[in-house]
């Protein structure tokens, strides 16, 4: 009977196993990274949508304040006076920063006269602070004297 030679390739098999394991780990890390990035993007979009809604609400608060006070009093109170708008519709002069209207959001308004005393350009800015920095949503409108 003829003896069949036995080849010992244990080292080569171990290297192949380690390479396959490394490739598997890289694939799993890529999938987890993609899921985490999708979650962050989803949260950013949600926050941006909320910020836009808060800014639009701020513009409506300012319009109702104009209607309540009348143009003359409104113009006198707010022309070139930046204001903070809280969640309950109160206006406070902006000193350094505004109080939060929700967990992440602050809302401020600026009023700029066009020089005629008949128009104010109002910009409501809602800021949101998250792990990737500060984001803003702005809504601008022009209020006109209707008296």
pTM of the model: 0.75
Closest to 137 in 3D by CA, of 21, 10, 47, 37: 47
Write out the H or E segment, with its range, that includes residue 121: strand 119-130
**For residues 116 and 125, what is the distance between their CA atoms, to the nearest angstrom?**
24
Cα atoms in the Cβ-side hemisphere of radius 13 Å centred on 25: 6
**For residues 113 and 75, what is the distance between their CA atoms, to the nearest angstrom?**
9
Backbone angles phi, psi at 22, to 5 degrees: -60, -40
pLDDT value of position 85: 86
Contact call for residues 80 and 94 (beta carbons, < 8 A): no
Cα separation of the two ends of the chain = 116
State the 10-residue block means of pLDDT for the chain, 147 residues long: 63 82 95 93 90 92 91 88 84 81 87 88 91 88 84
Closest to 64 in 3D by CA, of 54, 74, 55, 72: 74
């Amino acid at each position: 009977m003829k003896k069949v030679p036995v080849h010992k390739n244990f080292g080569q098999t171990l290297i192949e196993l380690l390479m396959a394991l490394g490739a598997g780990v890289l694939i799993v890390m890529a999938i987890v990274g993609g899921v985490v990035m999708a979650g962050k993007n989803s949260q950013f979009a949600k926050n941006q949508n909320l910020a836009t809604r808060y800014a639009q609400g701020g513009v409506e608060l300012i319009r109702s304040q104009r209607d309540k006070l009348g143009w003359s009093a409104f113009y006198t109170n707010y022309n070139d006076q930046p204001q903070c708008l809280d969640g309950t519709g109160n206006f406070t002069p902006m000193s350094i920063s505004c109080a939060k209207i929700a967990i992440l959001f602050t809302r401020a308004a600026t009023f700029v006269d066009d020089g005629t005393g008949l128009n104010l350009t109002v910009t409501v800015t809602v800021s949101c602070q998250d792990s990737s920095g500060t984001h803003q949503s702005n809504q601008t409108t022009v209020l006109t004297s209707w008296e």
